[in-house]
Structures are given as C-alpha cells and as structure tokens.
C-alpha cells in the first residue's frame, strides 16, 4: 500500500504537468482509495510530496477531473494539520471560482472542501472571506432552495455546513452573513425541507450560532421562524432533536417581538405538555428537558405583550397551569412557578388580581417548605414574586395582614446574598407608607441588628444598598421615636450618614430625610453618633459641591436647621462658616432651593 501510494504520488506529479487525462484519473482514484483506508497517514504523505501545489492547476473550470481533486482536498482537510497547507498551496481561490460551476458534483465536492478547510481554522476562513466565497454560497442556497430532490438536498446540506464552519464562533463573519441576508434564506429552507433530517439539523445549528448575535434578532423577527420552529418541535420525539431546537429557541426568545410570535405559534402549549410528561420522571434526559422547558416558559413571560397575552386577566389556562406548579413537590417546577408569578406581577392590575385570588398564601406555603436547609433559588424566586406583588399600594395592607412580614423574617438568618437582597426589597416595599408596619419592624431588634451588619457587606453592594434603604425607610414611614432609639442603640446612625454620600441621588435623599427626622425627634439620643460620623462636614461638602442635585441641597439645609438644637453640632456648623455657603444658594436657579437658603440663612443668623 505504502509503495503504491508513493508511486501514485510520483506518477501524479508527472501526469499533472503533462495533463494525460486517463492516467491522471487513475492516480486520483488511487489517492481517494488510500484516503478511504487511512486518511491521516495518506494526508501526511500527500503533504510531504508537495503535490498540493499542483492541485491548484487541476481545479480550473476546464479541467475534467476538478470534482475528484476537490473531493481529495475535502478528505485531506478533515485533518487539522492539513488546513493551513491547503491555504498556503493557493487552493482557496480556484475552489471559490468552482462555486460558479453548473455541475452538481463539482459544487458538492467544492462545498465540502471549503467547509472542511474552514473548520476551526482562522487562516481558512480568512482566505475564503477574501475570495468572496460566502456570498456565492448564499446565492446558491437562494436559487436551489425550492428543489426537493435528494441530490439537491444533499448539496444544500453541504452548503449550510460550509457556512456554519466558515462563521462558527466568529462574530464578524456571522455579522457578514447576516448582512448578506442568510437568515430569511435559512428559514425558508427549514420550512421547505423539514422532512430532511440532515438539512434540518444543519439549519438548526446555523440558527443556534447566528441567534447569539444581537443584530440577528431583528432579521429573525421579520421571518416566520417562530412558526417553523414550533411546527418542527411538535414533530420531534427524540430528546436530542428537541434539545437542538431548545438551543435555538432560548437565544431567540430573548427578543420581545419573537417572544410574542412564539406564544402565538403555540410554543407554550408544547412546553406545558413537556412539563406534564416529564414531571415525575427521574431519567436524566427528562429532568433536563423539564428544566429547559420550564425555564423557557419563564423567559417567554419576560416580554410585556407575551406575558399579558398569557395572563388573560388571570383567567388564562396557562396562568392557571403555572399556579399549579407552586404547590408541586418538584423543585424545578416550584422555581419556575415562582419566577413566572414574579413575571406576571409586572403591572398593578395583575398584582391586584393575583393577591385577591390567594397567590400570597401559596407563595408563603412554598417559602415555609424551604426555611430549613431550603433550596436557595426557590427562596429567591418566591421572595421576588412577593416583592413585586407588594408594589401596588392597595396590596400592602392585604399582604401585611396575611402575615407576609413574619414569613419573610424567617429568612433573616440566611447567609445567601441573593436571598438577603430579595428579603430586604420585599420588606421595604411592604412598609412603604404603612406607619404601623414600619414601627413594628423598626422596633424588632433582631432585624435592625441584622440590617446594621448587612450595611457593612462590602462584597455585596446590592445587599449593602438595600439594608441602608430599609433602615432609612423604617424611620421615614414610622416617624417613631422608639424606632429611632432602636436604630441608634444598634449602631445604625453612621450607616445613614454614609448613605447621604451615595452615588445614587435617590439613596442620598432617603438618608437625608431619615436624618432630618432623627434630628427633629431624637436629637439628644443620636447626637454623639452624628458627631462621630462627621455629619456636619458631609453636609458642608454636599452644599458646596456643584454636582449635588437640587433636592440634595434642599434636604441638606433642612437638616442643618434641625441640628441647631444640639450645642456641639451647632458649634461645628458655626466653625465651618455655613452662612457663606448658604447665602450663595439664595440665588440658586431652583426656587425651592433658593427659598430654603433664605430660611436657613435667617436661622443661622439668629442662632449665631
């Protein structure tokens, strides 16, 4: 075999130059045979012989053996070590020229050769790009799209594979294909050839690659991709095939227009069916499919229109089915159910309807099942849902009397930042403008001490921010001396002073209002802490900083006036020459600021 291969390669060198057609064909057949028996070894010998350089001259449109040569190149390019030598031998340009052939076999072998050279090869892709190969292939796909004979379908499959290898994991080449209009063509292919498994698979992999790119979503949204994928999905029985479709659906469903199209095409019904079929199975494939299906369902609910369509005023069968997931014993379904409720709870109307129809009790039962060694993702999701439901004013009192604060406080000992974050957000929403609840929580020493501890969670900015905001909210909504005393005793004052320097105006404001209430109601109790937290210096900085928002300047001056009742803080105000700063603000463009500056100036003058 080895000897005859060496002879063939020598003979091929001579005949390639002499162009003796018959012996040339014979040599090429021998090479193909040798490649079929041992591809790697034969490819190494081909490379060592220097014959690759001669192949370029055998790929001309006039050559009678061009299809066989392209076939040999396709076979050798299956080996990674042969791809760059094929590029260096100048084979790309003549191969791309052959894409203009009318001969189906030539097109097939050329497509294979280019596809294999591009596989995982930057050099191969770059050469095909420079030679303009992609556009010719896309034009072929367009013109051959409607022909359903087996030979044509095989060619279409090869061309799709070639484009995939050409652009895989390469954003700029994927963007180029999108600009060339490949997406509508591939969607049309999928629709016409959905009976052909190999071609369908190629289209799906290509979609999966392209759908990751943001720029592709608009093009996908303008086709009937949703309809085609759902149609295909309904036909699939095998797990692997469904998994492939899921891989395309997930990135596409991030686009709101496509979410709605998928809902209208009936994807939700398919997903609900999967959940029903797989919920009790312990087979790994079924567990995976249940997770993928329910996750996708939650994703579809992230679009406002698609969510509202499925809610159907709380009467929708989809909404009802999702509700039934919450009491389930399957953690994945509990999670998806709670996340779905959180997504349905994105407008007041839905929230009010759900609270009136007993959803809060279901979520509290779910949380109860996860207090001890619970599932963190389920805890997080259920708290997210409760937080969203607590946003409408009308829901707060109902949720408070249903015992939501007690249910939420059971998670105060959690060490998981995502759970801590949602717990804080839920409590903050619940006490908004609810004086009694704010006072009750604000006198809860365990809660306040935990908040003070979390105010120092430097590694978790979200938890730190929410703890500060809840501390401030307890004071602002309760306006209670007892709450202020509890917060002073727990060491919370310094955090409220620091919060006044936050980069977020809303948080600065909340802090200043809470501090003004402290100064008005319990200045004696808080005096030392306000001093050691350097509050007066911070207020001076806020008033002199031109970047401070008008409401920050306004509330800082209100706070200065409130601090005058303390001898030591009053002295600090005098020492820092606040009068100069305040008198300048009398000409501030904001009327409220200018007015407050006049009042503050009078107060400071009287007190000095």
Distance CA 563, CA 531 (A): 11
pLDDT at 487: 97
For residues 83-94, average pLDDT:
96
Distance CA 451, CA 483 (A): 13
Q: Hey, CA dihedral for 163, 167, 169, 175, is it positive or negative?
A: negative
Cα atoms in the 13 Å half-sphere on the side-chain side of 475: 28
- Let me know whether 166 and 119 are in one domain: no
pLDDT tens string 504-551: 999 999 999 999 999 999 999 999 999 999 999 999 999 999 889 999
CA distances from 391 to 148, 399, 505 (A): 56, 11, 21
pLDDT at 116: 97
- Please give the structure tokens belonging to residue 259: 């979410």
Distance CA 143, CA 340 (A): 44
Contact assessment for residue 435 and residue 396, using Cβ atoms and an 8 Å cutoff? no
> Is residue 419 classed as helix, strand or coil in its secondary structure?
helix
- Let me know whether 55 and 88 are in one domain: yes
- Let me know whether 78 and 165 are in one domain: no
pLDDT tens string 314-337: 888 889 999 999 999 999 999 999
User: Could you tell me how many residues make up the chain?
Assistant: 608
Contact assessment for residue 76 and residue 37, using Cβ atoms and an 8 Å cutoff? no
pLDDT at 341: 95
Final residue belonging to a domain, choices 233, 259, 285? 259
Contact assessment for residue 379 and residue 419, using Cβ atoms and an 8 Å cutoff? yes
Contact assessment for residue 157 and residue 200, using Cβ atoms and an 8 Å cutoff? no
End-to-end CA distance of the chain: 109
- Let me know whether 109 and 155 are in one domain: no
pLDDT tens string 13-32: 666 655 556 678 888 999 99
CA distances from 70 to 1, 56, 422 (A): 23, 10, 61
pLDDT at 20: 57
Q: Is residue 318 part of a domain?
A: no
- Let me know whether 137 and 127 are in one domain: no
- Please give the structure tokens belonging to residue 295: 């996750």
Q: Is residue 110 part of a domain?
A: yes
Distance CA 333, CA 134 (A): 44
Q: Hey, CA dihedral for 176, 179, 185, 188, is it positive or negative?
A: positive
User: What is the SS3 string spanning 272-340?
Assistant: HHHHHHHCCCCCHHHHHHHHHHHHHHHHHCCCHHHHHHHHHHHCCHHHHHHHHHCCCCCHHHHHHHHHH
Contact assessment for residue 472 and residue 514, using Cβ atoms and an 8 Å cutoff? yes
pLDDT at 8: 75
Q: Using CA atoms in the order 494, 496, 497, 498, what is the torsion angle rounded to 10 degrees?
A: 90
Q: Is residue 156 part of a domain?
A: yes
- Please give the structure tokens belonging to residue 154: 């095989």
Percentage of the chain exceeding pLDDT 90: 76
> Is residue 205 classed as helix, strand or coil in its secondary structure?
helix
For residues 410-423, average pLDDT:
94
- Let me know whether 159 and 205 are in one domain: yes
Q: Is the pLDDT of residue 1 over 50?
A: no
pLDDT tens string 580-606: 889 999 999 999 999 999 999 999 888
- Let me know whether 144 and 162 are in one domain: yes
Final residue belonging to a domain, choices 131, 157, 176? 131
Q: Is residue 479 part of a domain?
A: no
Distance CA 33, CA 71 (A): 12
- Let me know whether 158 and 247 are in one domain: yes
Number of domains forming the structure of the chain: 2
Contact assessment for residue 490 and residue 470, using Cβ atoms and an 8 Å cutoff? no
pLDDT at 239: 83
- Let me know whether 160 and 126 are in one domain: no
- CATH at residue 98: 1.25.10.10
pLDDT at 202: 92
> Is residue 166 classed as helix, strand or coil in its secondary structure?
helix
DSSP secondary structure, 56-116, as one string: GGGGSTT-TTHHHHHHHHHHHTTSHHHHHHHHHTT-HHHHHHHTT---HHHHHHHHHHHHH
pLDDT tens string 270-311: 999 999 888 888 899 889 999 999 999 999 998 899 999 999
Range of the domain at 170: 132-259
Lowest mean pLDDT among 169-178, 194-203, 231-240: 231-240
For residues 3-9, average pLDDT:
70
pLDDT at 426: 96
Query: What 8-state DSSP symbol labels residue 501?
Result: T
- Please give the structure tokens belonging to residue 604: 């400071």
Contact assessment for residue 341 and residue 354, using Cβ atoms and an 8 Å cutoff? yes
- For the chain, count helices (H), then strands (E): 40, 0
Q: Is residue 279 part of a domain?
A: no
Q: Is the pLDDT of residue 373 over 80?
A: no
Phi, psi of 117 (to 5 degrees): -65, -35
- Let me know whether 90 and 146 are in one domain: no
Query: What 8-state DSSP symbol labels residue 590?
Result: S
Q: Is the pLDDT of residue 607 over 90?
A: no
Q: Is residue 326 part of a domain?
A: no
- Let me know whether 127 and 50 are in one domain: yes
Distance CA 63, CA 67 (A): 9
- Please give the structure tokens belonging to residue 294: 């329910």
- Please give the structure tokens belonging to residue 103: 């001969």
Average pLDDT, whole number, for the chain?
A: 92
Distance CA 37, CA 389 (A): 68
């Amino acid at each position: 075999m080895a000897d005859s291969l060496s002879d063939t390669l020598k003979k091929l060198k001579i005949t390639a130059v002499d162009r003796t057609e018959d012996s040339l064909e014979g040599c090429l057949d021998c090479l193909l045979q040798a490649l079929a028996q041992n591809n790697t070894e034969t490819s190494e010998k081909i490379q060592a012989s220097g014959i690759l350089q001669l192949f370029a001259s055998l790929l001309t449109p006039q050559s009678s053996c061009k299809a066989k040569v392209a076939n040999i190149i396709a076979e050798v390019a299956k080996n990674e070590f042969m791809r760059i030598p094929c590029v260096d031998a100048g084979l790309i340009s003549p191969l791309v020229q052959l894409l203009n052939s009318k001969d189906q076999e030539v097109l097939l072998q050329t497509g294979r050769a280019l596809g294999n050279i591009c596989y995982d090869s930057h050099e191969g892709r770059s050469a095909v790009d420079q030679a303009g190969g992609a556009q010719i292939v896309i034009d072929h796909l367009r013109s051959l799209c409607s022909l359903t004979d087996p030979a044509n379908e095989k060619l279409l499959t090869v061309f799709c594979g070639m484009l995939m290898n050409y652009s895989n994991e390469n954003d700029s080449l994927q963007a180029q294909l999108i600009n060339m209009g490949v997406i509508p063509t591939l969607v049309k292919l999928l629709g016409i050839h959905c009976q052909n498994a190999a071609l369908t698979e190629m289209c799906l992999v290509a979609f999966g690659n392209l759908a990751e790119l943001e720029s592709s979503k608009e093009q996908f949204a303008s086709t009937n991709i949703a309809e085609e994928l759902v149609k295909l999905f309904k036909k699939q029985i095998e797990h692997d095939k469904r998994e492939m479709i899921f891989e395309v659906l997930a990135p596409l469903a991030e686009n709101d227009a496509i979410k709605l199209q998928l809902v209208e095409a009936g994807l939700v019904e398919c997903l609900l069916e999967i959940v029903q079929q797989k919920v009790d199975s312990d087979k790994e494939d079924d567990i995976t499919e249940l997770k993928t299906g329910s996750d996708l369902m939650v994703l579809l609910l992230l679009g406002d229109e698609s969510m509202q369509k499925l809610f159907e005023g709380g009467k929708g069968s989809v909404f009802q089915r999702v509700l039934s997931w919450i009491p389930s014993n399957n953690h994945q379904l509990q999670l998806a159910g709670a996340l779905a409720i959180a997504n349905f709870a994105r407008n007041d109307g839905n929230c009010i309807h759900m609270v009136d129809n007993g959803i809060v009790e279901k979520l509290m039962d779910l949380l109860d099942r996860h207090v001890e060694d619970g599932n963190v993702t389920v805890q997080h999701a259920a708290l997210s849902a409760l937080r969203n439901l607590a946003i409408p004013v009308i829901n707060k009192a109902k949720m408070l009397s249903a015992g939501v604060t007690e249910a939420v406080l059971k998670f105060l000992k959690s060490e998981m930042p995502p759970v801590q974050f949602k717990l804080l957000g839920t409590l903050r929403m619940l006490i908004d403008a609810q004086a009694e609840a704010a006072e009750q929580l604000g006198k809860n020493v365990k809660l306040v001490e935990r908040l003070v501890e979390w105010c120092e969670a430097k590694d978790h900015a979200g938890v730190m921010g929410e703890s500060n905001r809840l501390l401030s909210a307890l004071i602002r909504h309760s306006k209670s001396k007892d709450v202020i005393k509890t917060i002073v005793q727990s060491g919370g004052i310094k955090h409220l002073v620091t919060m006044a320097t936050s980069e977020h105006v809303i948080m600065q404001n909340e802090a200043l209002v809470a501090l003004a209430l402290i100064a008005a109601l319990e200045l004696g109790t808080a005096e030392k802490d306000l001093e050691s937290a350097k509050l007066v210096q911070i207020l001076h900085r806020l008033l002199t900083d031109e970047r401070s928002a008008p409401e920050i300047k306004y509330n800082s001056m209100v706070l200065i006036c409130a601090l005058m009742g303390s001898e030591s803080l009053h002295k600090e105000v005098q020492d820092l020459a606040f009068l100069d700063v305040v008198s300048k603000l009398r000409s501030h463009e904001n009327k409220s600021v200018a007015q407050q500056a006049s009042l503050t100036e009078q107060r400071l003058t009287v007190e000095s």
